[in-house]
Amino acid sequence: MSKATFAIIAAAGAATGAAATAAYYSATSRRPSPASSPAVTTTTTTVSTPSRTTPLPPIPAPFSQLKSLTTAPVDPTGLFQYGFPGPIADLRPVASLISSFDRRTRNPHWVAEHITPQSLAAHNADRKHSVFVEDSSIPEKFRGKLKDYYRSGYDRGHQVPAADAKWSQEAMDDTFSLSNMCPQVGEGFNRDYWAHFEDFCRRLAGKYPSVRIVTGPLYLPKREPDGKWRVSYEVIGSPPNIAVPTHFYKVIFAEDGMAGGNVALGAFVLPNTHIANDKPLSDFEIPLEGLERASGLEFAEKLPLNRRKRLCAEVPCSIIVKDYKERQRSIAQIAQQGKRN
């Protein structure tokens, strides 16, 4: 990713909003993409659930795509007889979410959820019965530990919030796994602005019959006094092993409920720091392409442009400041409104 792209995303996350990013990408999107050479790509995915042991990753075998090695004096692929180094995506599909875990940072790459007016209307769970747990499906040496957060100064920040999974106690319990957590600043962010942002997502279910949300961490560069850009983040734990993200993102897909219908799409990047409650949420909206460049992920490659609508052009992108108890009471009201619509 170019320095300009990083700068714009970081600026949007900190203060300036979408105007600069939109201008930048409207210009760069017209530039022809350089031709790329065919490449052999190998990915390994481990699908795991809390009830079974993570299987050993399969050894990749894209040999049919490689040139014959019969005349070569070396065989680099011989390494695979001892195992495949990775990276490995630990997929965790459970009832309330699906996530991909990053073993290097001990944080998720992304966590996806689905909310509807019906799911928010149900009240079959209580978070007082849920407890934070380590994800035993991830190899012990790579997983986040409860002790890593102890006296760290950071909250165990849900990526999929517990309040979105009240339709069953099991579903809510699944949100308390540490593979659904990242270190988040507490006062002023996780317990304040970020919580109001989560409430905004739930309020969308009052207008749309189906809302899908992808949430995850970012590690963005910052321009130092010497003019150079560097990525710097804190690491917590004993020994230090869980990375503290500099930013968090959400990609929102608000579906109109029609087969092949329109999808109101919004991408947001927020800094992991205190944010004043009077800060407009629209200031954190960025082009989806910018988020994809920053994260290395693709979120909507199969969604045609003619089905996409800009979320903040369809609904007011603004938070409503409430205390915690008020936010809990509002969830049922949002769900009932969605049913009436």
Predicted confidence (pLDDT) per residue in 99-145, tens digit: 999 999 999 999 999 999 999 999 999 999 999 999 999 999 999 99
Tell me the C-alpha distance between 299 and 127, whole Å: 30
Range with the poorest average pLDDT among 54-63, 144-153, 199-208, 297-306: 54-63
Q: What are the chain's domains?
A: 3-28+85-340 (3.40.570.10)
The yes-or-no verdict on residue 19 having pLDDT over 70 is no
Q: For residue 206, what pLDDT band results from cuts at 50, 70 and 90? A: very high
* The predicted structure's pLDDT at residue 322: 78
Q: For residue 330, what pLDDT band results from cuts at 50, 70 and 90? A: low
Of 174, 191, 171, 104, which Cα lies nearest the Cα of 137?
Answer: 174
- Sign, CA torsion 208/212/216/221: negative
The yes-or-no verdict on residue 96 having pLDDT over 80 is yes
pLDDT digits (tens, 9 = 90+) for 216-271: 999 999 999 999 999 999 999 999 999 999 999 999 999 999 999 999 999 999 99
Q: For residue 38, what pLDDT band results from cuts at 50, 70 and 90? A: very low
Q: For residue 48, what pLDDT band results from cuts at 50, 70 and 90? A: low
Q: HSE-up of 131 (CA within 13 Å, CB side)?
A: 3
The yes-or-no verdict on residue 59 having pLDDT over 60 is no
Could you please report the per-residue DSSP string of 259-326? TT--EEEEEEEEESS---TTS-GGGGB--HHHHHHHHT--S-TTS-GGGEEEHHHHS--------HHH
* The predicted structure's pLDDT at residue 6: 45
At position 232, the amino acid (one-letter code) is: S
Average pLDDT in the 38-56 region? 50
Binding residues: 190
Q: 112 CB contacts (<8 Å, ≥6 apart)?
A: 97, 98, 99, 212, 213, 214, 215
The yes-or-no verdict on residue 172 having pLDDT over 90 is yes
Range with the poorest average pLDDT among 35-39, 240-244, 304-308: 35-39
Asked if 129 is an active-site residue, the reply is: no
Output 238 or 38, whichever has higher pLDDT: 238
Quote the pTM value.
Answer: 0.79
Q: For residue 16, what pLDDT band results from cuts at 50, 70 and 90? A: very low
Q: For residue 332, what pLDDT band results from cuts at 50, 70 and 90? A: low
Tell me the C-alpha distance between 3 and 229, whole Å: 8
What mean pLDDT value characterizes the chain? Answer: 84
* The predicted structure's pLDDT at residue 3: 43
Average pLDDT in the 191-211 region? 97
Binding residues for Mg(2+): 190
Query: In 10 A of CB 161, how many CB atoms?
Result: 24
Range with the poorest average pLDDT among 60-64, 102-106, 189-193: 60-64
The yes-or-no verdict on residue 325 having pLDDT over 60 is no
Q: For residue 70, what pLDDT band results from cuts at 50, 70 and 90? A: low
Q: For residue 13, what pLDDT band results from cuts at 50, 70 and 90? A: very low
Give the helix/strand (H/E) hosting 113.
Answer: strand 107-115
Of 48, 270, 320, which Cα lies nearest the Cα of 177?
Answer: 48
Q: What is the residue whose two structure tokens read 């190899």?
A: 139
- Give percent of the chain with pLDDT exceeding 70: 74
- Sign, CA torsion 20/23/27/30: positive
Among candidate residues 123, 129, 158, 247, the one labeled active-site is 158
